[in-house]
């Protein structure tokens, strides 16, 4: 579908008095659909208003262009109307006259009576009939802004551009005008682009929220979809299951940009004592208990110990954002779900294949399959019970949540369902949901269950909305869970930095598996910049007995989540091959005929070995053995295609030669 507005790789450069240049915006690329409400948010100086002015035609891009309905925007026009924060009313004209000024200018071909009718209609639209003959000086701030909105809408624009229209108003007036604007825009089906600093305003009004990084060279850092149905009001927005997670992601992004001002001033050069090529790194993570090695390496000084003195841990809103952040270079590396390096190397889920390698398995096990408490109380306590329910109610669709197509959560959930005769693509519906939003969607009834990492299973148990049917360790004991992923090109550019990064995280993994440290680690994880939860929700399975929520006593599970014991950290080619077959089984990737070459590229055992030697750890590698899960089906790593031929429930398998 063609976009209504295309902001096509726009740059904006301003000349400075000393002959230098200030690059305000760099490579901004955004498509807006007809009728959408898009909000731009970011710190002062990030170019929000500059971008809005370019769409309005008040500024021209230095590179790229703005296209409206297939035509390049080169000047202002009546199809785009701007509402400014400062009202911009003519003080000697009444409310009626200010609105009529715009109508008379644009609709000269209409009769005087028709133009008067349009003016009166819009006076009523913004409820200003008693003030129609008053001058701006006789109006409150909110009334003035309503005049500005009425004037903008009266010329029937295709697009409304709003530059902090409610920024100068008190909270009560602002709230009323926001809801009035939302109602008007919905009825008029007008496309809106708004600049704001108010996160709650953005969530109330927007279909999508575009968050800009700091200037100079500001870019689109993140785009949030707002899945709250319309029509909306403030009450329904605040009570929507996604509200608090979306709001926290916006606030975290803005806080992150504030902190990045300091980091940008530090050059990515070596420090003499360690000889590293780069010391300031941005590493992505998802707020889960098993992000502990990254948090420990940061908070306990392991990064700094190996020369990485400026490491920023970037909390990402989803695994998709992690994938995109590493692919486009926004992140130097990240905590990744197990299958992500292979998928990205083969080009799945991204625009172009990007070779990703891993030299460290960060964690093993630690996930669970959680079903709604209500369903459990109705007798759905096993996989066989679920199969019976589906067979009895063939006309009903049951939806389950999973965190990402390349995750062990998705692959093990699918494997579990298929082992019970349930086709995960036809008998149920699988919905990708970021881990922090799982419990809210379960509570809201959007899904009947999910497979996720902690603390989002025990949190559901603690709040009485979920029951755990199985842990991932029960499905496959010791399975790989999260890995460190970096671009191969990055690793080749910064080889010493790469080894230092793996060394620091490997020592942090050892620290995490000493249970004497886990109380302290739970407190570190509970901080707002990491999980933002009370430590009591983090401790089950991590330190305390694990409660399934089934009425039985919590079970002591000291190895529910592994970080270092049992040779956890060395990348395992056999395990990665199993993951590759499962992703091919469900159509996430085509199976590469040259799978040995792909495994060689992804699993960097030599980097792990160097890091292990730095710490005087034994130089071990995991043995290539047959893998068996809970169903006792054996996986032979020497015949992955033979294994795929034997599985009954699957999608058509495509085998291709992957050229790298």
Could you report the per-residue pLDDT of 555-570, keeping only the tens digit for each?
Answer: 999 889 999 988 899 9
Mean predicted confidence (pLDDT) in 498-521: 95
R_g of the chain, CA atoms, integer Å: 28
Q: How far is CA 473 from CA 90, 478, 584, in A?
A: 70, 6, 23
Q: How far is CA 85 from CA 88, 174, 182, 475, in A?
A: 8, 12, 17, 58
Between 214-228, 379-393, 543-557, 567-581, the lowest mean confidence (pLDDT) is in 214-228
| Residue bearing tokens 């509200």 | 243
Residue 660 pLDDT > 70: no
Nearby residues of 284 by Cβ (< 8 Å), 6 or more positions away: 314, 316, 321, 322, 325, 326, 331, 333, 334, 335
Residue 170 pLDDT > 80: no
Share of the chain above pLDDT 90, in %: 56
Residue 77 pLDDT > 60: yes
- Judged by DSSP in three states, 286 sits in coil
Could you report the per-residue pLDDT of 151-167, keeping only the tens digit for each?
Answer: 877 777 788 888 887 76
Spatial contact of 369 and 449, defined as CB atoms under 8 Å apart = yes
Mean predicted confidence (pLDDT) in 185-196: 84
Could you report the per-residue pLDDT of 90-148, keeping only the tens digit for each?
Answer: 889 898 888 888 788 878 888 888 888 888 877 877 778 888 888 988 887 778 777 87
Mean predicted confidence (pLDDT) in 411-432: 96
The β-bridge relationship of strands 449-453 and 367-372 is antiparallel
Instruction: Report the C-alpha gap between 143 and 169 in whole angstroms.
Output: 10
Half-sphere exposure of 310 (CA within 13 A, CB side): 19
Residue 178 pLDDT > 80: no
Task: Using pLDDT thresholds of 50, 70 and 90, give the confidence band for residue 268.
Answer: very low
Can you give the pLDDT at residue 271? 36
Q: How far is CA 25 from CA 22, 75, 213, 339, in A?
A: 9, 19, 10, 35
Mean predicted confidence (pLDDT) in 214-225: 83
Instruction: Report the C-alpha gap between 404 and 509 in whole angstroms.
Output: 24
- Judged by DSSP in three states, 560 sits in coil
Residue 255 pLDDT > 70: yes
Instruction: Report the C-alpha gap between 506 and 294 in whole angstroms.
Output: 10
Global pTM reads 0.71
Instruction: Report the C-alpha gap between 68 and 80 in whole angstroms.
Output: 10
Instruction: Report the C-alpha gap between 461 and 165 in whole angstroms.
Output: 44
Could you report the per-residue pLDDT of 443-461, keeping only the tens digit for each?
Answer: 999 999 999 999 999 999 9
The β-bridge relationship of strands 655-656 and 449-453 is unpaired
Could you report the per-residue pLDDT of 363-404, keeping only the tens digit for each?
Answer: 999 999 999 999 999 999 999 999 999 999 989 999 999 999
Task: Using pLDDT thresholds of 50, 70 and 90, give the confidence band for residue 267.
Answer: very low
Task: Using pLDDT thresholds of 50, 70 and 90, give the confidence band for residue 201.
Answer: confident
């Amino acid at each position: 579908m063609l976009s209504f507005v295309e902001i096509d790789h726009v740059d904006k450069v301003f000349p400075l008095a000393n002959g230098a240049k200030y690059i305000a915006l760099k490579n901004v690329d955004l498509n807006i659909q007809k009728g959408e409400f898009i909000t731009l948010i970011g710190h002062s100086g990030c170019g929000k208003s500059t971008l809005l002015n370019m769409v309005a035609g008040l500024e021209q891009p230095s590179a790229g262009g703005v296209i409206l309905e297939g035509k390049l925007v080169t000047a202002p026009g009546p199809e785009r109307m701007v509402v400014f924060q400062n009202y911009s009313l003519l003080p000697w004209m009444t409310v009626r006259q200010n609105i009529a000024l715009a109508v008379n200018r644009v609709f000269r071909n209409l009769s005087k009576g028709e133009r008067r009718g349009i003016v009166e209609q819009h006076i009523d639209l913004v409820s200003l009939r008693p003030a129609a003959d008053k001058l701006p000086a006789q109006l409150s701030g909110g009334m003035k802004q309503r005049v500005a909105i009425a004037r903008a809408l009266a010329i029937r624009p295709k697009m409304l551009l709003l530059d902090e229209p409610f920024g100068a108003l008190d909270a009560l007036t602002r709230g009323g005008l926001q809801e009035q604007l939302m109602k008007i825009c919905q009825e008029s089906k007008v496309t809106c682009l708004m600049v704001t600093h108010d996160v709650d305003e953005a969530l109330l009004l927007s279909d999508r929220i575009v968050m800009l990084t700091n200037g100079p060279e500001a870019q689109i850092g993140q785009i949030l979809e707002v899945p709250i149905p319309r029509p909306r009001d403030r009450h329904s927005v605040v009570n929507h299951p996604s509200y608090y997670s979306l709001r926290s992601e916006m606030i975290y992004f803005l806080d992150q940009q504030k902190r990045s001002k300091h980091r940008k001033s530090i050059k990515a050069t070596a420090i003499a004592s360690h000889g590293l090529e780069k010391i300031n790194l941005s590493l992505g993570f998802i707020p889960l208990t098993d992000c502990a090695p990254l948090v420990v390496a940061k908070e306990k000084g392991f990064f700094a110990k190996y020369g990485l003195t400026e490491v920023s841990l970037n909390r990402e809103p989803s695994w998709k954002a992690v994938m995109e952040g590493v692919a486009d270079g926004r992140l130097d590396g990240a905590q990744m779900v197990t299958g992500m390096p292979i998928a990205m190397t083969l080009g799945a889920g991204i625009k172009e294949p990007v070779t990703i390698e891993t030299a460290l398995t960060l964690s093993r096990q630690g996930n669970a399959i959680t079903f709604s408490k209500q369903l459990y109380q109705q007798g759905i306590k096993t996989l066989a019970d679920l199969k019976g329910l589906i067979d009895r109610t063939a006309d009903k669709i049951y939806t389950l949540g999973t965190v990402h197509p390349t995750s062990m959560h998705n692959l093990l959930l699918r494997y579990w369902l298929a082992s019970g005769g349930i086709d995960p693509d036809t008998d149920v519906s699988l919905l990708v949901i970021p881990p922090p939003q799982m419990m809210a969607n379960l509570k809201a009834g959007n899904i009947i269950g999910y497979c996720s990492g902690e603390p989002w299973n025990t949190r559901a148990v603690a709040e009485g909305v979920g029951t755990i049917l199985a842990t991932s360790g029960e499905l496959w004991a010791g399975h790989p869970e999260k890995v460190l992923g970096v671009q191969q090109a990055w690793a080749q550019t910064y080889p010493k930095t790469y080894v230092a990064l793996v060394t620091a995280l490997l020592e942090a993994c050892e620290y995490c598996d000493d249970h004497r440290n886990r109380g302290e680690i739970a407190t570190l994880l509970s901080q707002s910049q990491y999980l933002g939860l009370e430590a009591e929700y983090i401790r089950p399975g991590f330190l305390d007995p694990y409660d399934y929520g089934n009425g039985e006593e919590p079970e002591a599970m000291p190895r529910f989540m592994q970080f270092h014991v049992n040779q956890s950290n060395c990348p395992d080619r056999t395990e990665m091959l199993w993951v590759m077959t499962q992703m091919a089984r469900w159509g996430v990737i085509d199976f590469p005929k040259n799978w040995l070459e792909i495994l060689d590229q992804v699993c960097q055992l030599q980097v792990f070995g160097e890091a292990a030697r730095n710490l005087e750890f034994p130089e071990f590698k995991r043995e290539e053995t047959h893998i068996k899960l809970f169903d006792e089906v054996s996986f032979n790593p020497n015949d992955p295609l033979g294994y795929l031929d034997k599985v009954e429930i699957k999608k058509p398998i495509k085998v291709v030669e992957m050229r790298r």
